[in-house]
Amino acid sequence: MKKLVTIILTALFLSSALFAAGMNDTAVIRLHAYVPEKTTFTADEFGFSVASNAYNFTYSVAEEGTNRTLMVVAN
């Protein structure tokens, strides 16, 4: 119950901070969050595809005939 009251009070405070400014005023709200790094390598008949929000690695693809090799190096 105490958590619910805290959440409601926080929401009221944030909404009042947003709408308390006049039409020509600005309001700044800073949000802090942690987004974990995630990298997905997918292979299909056309090659490898990479989806990532991390930039701490490099990769290369070597093809010999019908064989493909994916090499990943973490920085």
**What's the predicted TM-score (pTM) here?**
0.43
Instruction: Provide the pLDDT for residue 27.
Output: 67
Average pLDDT, the chain: 77
Q: List the chain domain ranges.
A: 2-74
CB neighbours of residue 70 within 10 Å: 13
pLDDT tens digits, one per residue of 36-70: 788 888 888 777 888 888 888 888 888 888 888 88
Phi, psi dihedral angles at 61 (to 5 degrees): -125, 130
Cβ-contact 39, 19 below 8 angstroms: no
pLDDT tens digits, one per residue of 5-36: 777 777 766 666 556 555 566 767 777 777 77
CA nearest to 72, candidates 53, 64, 46, 62 = 62
